[in-house]
Chain A
Amino acid sequence: MPLTLEIALTHIRERLRQTVLSVLGVTTGVGFAVAMAALMQGSQEDFIRRIIDATPHITVRDDFRAVPWQPADAVYGTSAVGLSSVKPKEELRGIRNPQPKLALLAALPGVAVAPTLRGPVVLRFGGRDVAVSLLGIEPKAEVRVSKLAHDIREGSLNDLYTTANGIIIGSGLARKLGAGLGDSVSLSSSAGTIRLAKVVAIVHSGVVAIDDATAYARLKVVQVLLDRPNVINEIRLRLDDVNGARALAQRIERRLGYRTESWEEINENVLEVFQIRNIIIYTVVGGILVVAAFGIFNIVSTIVFEKTRDIAILKSLGFTEADVRAIFVSEGFLIGSFGTLLGWGLGYALCRLLGSIEIKVRTFAEQTGLPVTYDWRHYAIAAACALTAAGLAGYLPARRAGRLDPVAIIRGAA
């Protein structure tokens, strides 16, 4: 063992109580940093996983991002002219001429495509009315873009083909209505059409917004109900590479002109909240590490103060300033290292504990426990932060120790 490290070890061993307190400070900081990081990343990944599983990766809508062009633009261009009471032309909403577009998108590598007509309807059963979003789907195409078939708890997706006016409802919706498999529910659309539909399946995705307020029927049925024959208003895409969704969505929008949103864009607000939450949590954890660093600074400063004579004698023996600095920086690092090792243990234990807690929460997504991600990088980052803080906390008094004038100390002692 290097001599400077051996001297450093003896110093901190002699002050066991102070050393233990400082080590515990670092342990707490590292432990909570690891646990919080695991929890933050766990919940974020859980959210994204659910989003990616339950919703399309890209949605092409019958909508345009830019304001529709007005004939006055041709006359006045960018001049400061105000036009009031401009009545937009009433157009039938929907994606026009969808088949070539569907074929174009389906030809893209790693992309599955499904047409959808989405519209608001009121579902009535047993005297209860619930407004829902009804999706007209093609079951064969739908299985390629969503986990609908996988998420069905009762019944079957294919029953939509065998049952006239069959409908699939979310588990939350079924609970609200008190409806079950085989029940007939009434569907009323804004077009004034009313149809009876038979519940052929109940789906449970775990995403509250879907389970509580979404129903599925065959595309043709929904087109009739909404009085929009041969019309679709969404093309939903599922990608092999979810990370390429944003770039592909931009390409599709440039090509087709319709508003095309990736799953990241649709959930941007939530993802931003995650970022803010992470900043808050890591600031708090950073604060804990700073407090721990002050503890190390305190003990190393105390040792430097108590060991001024030893520093003088070491210098008189021929130890250099760097040797003396190394002794006290090592003390900071030793405390930081012990604290980090224990902190890793504490962090792992906290992760296990948090992961084992059963909590039933229905926010955006249904949860039964706290999602925790085990990632070696959390441990590495927490250790790097703790050791940097410990090194700095040791370096400041160490620098002072290195600069001490041995003659002044020896004269003082004599």
Chain B
Amino acid sequence: MTGPSFVTAEGVHRVLPGPVPVTLVREIALSIGAGEFVVVTGPSGSGKSSLLYLLGLLDRPTQGEILIEGRPTRALSRDAAAALRLASIGFVFQFHFLLPEFSALENVTLPMRRLGTLERAAMETRARDLLATLEMADYADRRPDQLSGGQRQRVAIARALANAPKLVLADEPTGNLDSRNAEQVFTILAGLANAGHAVVAVTHNLDLAAMASRQITLLDGRIVEDVRTQ
């Protein structure tokens, strides 16, 4: 099931300036719609994470344009990009990056509190629901250091989903997990796509990649393969 395009890259290049400029990605052109589960694969240094940061407006292309729901983002201020990210994009990283001083529940409510569209009680209810969906309801009041690696990553996914983003970007979310937890995380991501989110995940694991509806392969920053598998 794929819907209208949420994020589109048009001729995107990203070059890191310096004495020896480094090209991270080049000539990227793709479009990802709601309900798509896209896996980005490729060897180390091929530009997978860089592409994800560009799609999530954490980084800006040197050339080309990223469009979110058809709107160009190149001219957006940093604050405007942050606001768009807060409301519409969720990130999951290889490391969970949960705030260690806050409980799982508080970590999940953070983006909602920053967005400020819900009442405090409604935020807590939504956070508990998200944690319950990810089978983390019993761990809501635990701090990250009281959770296992897989549990932390599930809390991080719940946090990424806090503001009901249309696009979920996962940068090697299973990189630090055992195979059972990794499979669980990918099952969750696939479930998100089925629920209508556009999901883009970077992975080296080809077995997990097979769970996606579309597989993009990068080499030296260029898309060399873009295959719809389902």
Residues of A within 8 A of B (CB): 3, 7, 10-11, 13-14, 309-310, 312-323, 406-407, 410-411, 413-414
Give every chain A residue within 8 A of B79 (Cβ-Cβ).
320-322
A-B interface pairs (CB < 8 A), number: 74
Contact of B111 among A14, A317, A406, A410 (CB under 8 A): A317
Whether A317 lies near B58 (C-beta < 8 A) is no
A-side contacts of B82, CB under 8 Å: 315, 318-320
Contacts of B87-102 to chain A: CB distance below 8 A: 87, 89, 91, 93-95, 97, 99, 101-102
**Residue B65, interface by CB 8 Å:** no
A317 touches B93 (CB 8 A): no
Pairs A-B, 8 closest by C-beta atoms: A318-B86, A313-B97, A10-B101, A318-B85, A320-B82, A320-B79, A316-B91, A3-B113
> 11 new A-B pairs (CB below 8 Å) besides A318-B89, A320-B78, A413-B97?
A7-B99, A10-B102, A13-B101, A313-B97, A313-B99, A316-B85, A320-B82, A407-B53, A410-B53, A410-B171, A414-B95
B114, A14: Cβ atoms under 8 Å?
no
Nearest CB on B from A411, distance (A): 7
CA distance A319 to B116 in the complex (A): 12
Minimal Cβ-Cβ distance residue in B for A402: B78
CB distance from A209 to the nearest CB of B (A): 66
Q: How many residues of B contact A (CB 8 A)?
A: 31
- Are A410 and B93 interface neighbours, CB within 8 A? yes
Q: How far is B59's CA from A318's CA once the two chains are assembled, in angstroms?
A: 13
A303 to chain B, nearest CB (A): 11
| A407→B58 contact, CB < 8 A | yes
Q: Say yes or no: A407 contacts B91, CB within 8 Å.
A: no
Main secondary structure of the interface of A (DSSP, over half): helix
B159 at the interface (CB under 8 A from A): yes
Chain B min CB distance to A315 (Å): 7
Q: Which residues of B contact A (CB under 8 A)?
A: 49, 53, 56, 58-59, 78-79, 82-87, 89, 91, 93-95, 97, 99, 101-102, 110-111, 113-115, 159, 171-172, 175
- A3-B56 in contact given A310-B99, A318-B85, A321-B79 (Cβ < 8 Å): no
Task: Name 22 interchain pairs, CB-CB below 8 A, sorted by A.
Answer: A10-B99, A14-B101, A310-B99, A312-B97, A313-B97, A316-B93, A316-B97, A318-B83, A318-B87, A318-B89, A318-B114, A318-B115, A319-B86, A320-B78, A320-B79, A320-B82, A323-B114, A407-B53, A407-B58, A410-B53, A413-B97, A414-B175
Question: Chain A contacts of B159 at CB under 8 A?
Answer: 317
* Chain B neighbourhood of A314, CB < 8 A: 110
Complex Cα gap A414–B97 (Å): 11
Min distance, Cβ B153 to any Cβ of chain A, angstroms: 13
Residues of chain B within 8 A of A310, CB atoms compared:
97, 99
Please tell me if the beta carbons of A317 and B99 are within 8 angstroms of each other in the complex: no
Closest to A414 in B: B94
A406 neighbours in B (Cβ, 8 Å): 58
Closest beta carbon of chain B to A172's beta carbon, Å: 69
Q: In the complex, what residues of A have CB within 8 A of residue B89's CB?
A: 318
CA distance A414 to B79 in the complex (A): 25
Instruction: Name A319's contact: one of B53, B59, B114 (CB within 8 Å).
Output: B114
Which of A3, A309, A313, A411 gathers the greatest number of chain B CB atoms within 10 Å? A313
Q: What CA separation (Å) do A179 and B113 show in the bound complex?
A: 85
Residue contact B58 to A316, C-beta cutoff 8 Å: yes
A412 to B159, CA, bound (A): 22
- Cβ-defined contact, B172 with A414, below 8 A: yes
Give chain B residues whose Cβ lies under 8 Å from the Cβ of A313. 93, 97, 99
A90 CA to B56 CA, complexed, in Å = 101
CB-CB < 8 A to B78: which residues of A? Answer: 320-321
Residues of A within 8 A of B53 (CB): 407, 410
Chain B hits for A323, CB < 8 A: 114
Contacts of B115 in A (CB 8 A): 318
Instruction: Give the CA-CA distance A3 to B115 in the complex, in Å.
Output: 11
* Cα distance, A3 to B162, chains bound together (Å): 16
Given contacts A316-B58, A318-B82, A320-B78, contact A413 B95 (CB under 8 A): yes
How many Å from the CB of A81 to the closest CB on chain B? 79
| Least CB distance, A311 to chain B, in whole angstroms | 10
Q: Which residue of B lies closest to A322 (CB)?
A: B79
Residues of B within 8 A of A321 (CB): 78-79
Q: How far is the CA of A318 from the CA of B49 in the complex (A)?
A: 18
Minimum Cβ distance to chain A for residue B114 (Å): 6
Cβ B114 vs Cβ A414 within 8 A: no
Assembly CA distance A317 to B85 (angstroms): 7
Q: B101 touching A3 by the CB < 8 A rule?
A: no
Does B99 lie within 8 Å of A414, measured CB to CB? no
State how many angstroms separate the Cβ of A343 from the closest Cβ of chain B: 27
A-side contacts of B91, CB under 8 Å: 316-317
Of chain A, the residue at the smallest CB distance from B116 is A3
Known: A14-B101, A413-B95, A414-B49. A316 touches B56 (CB 8 A): yes
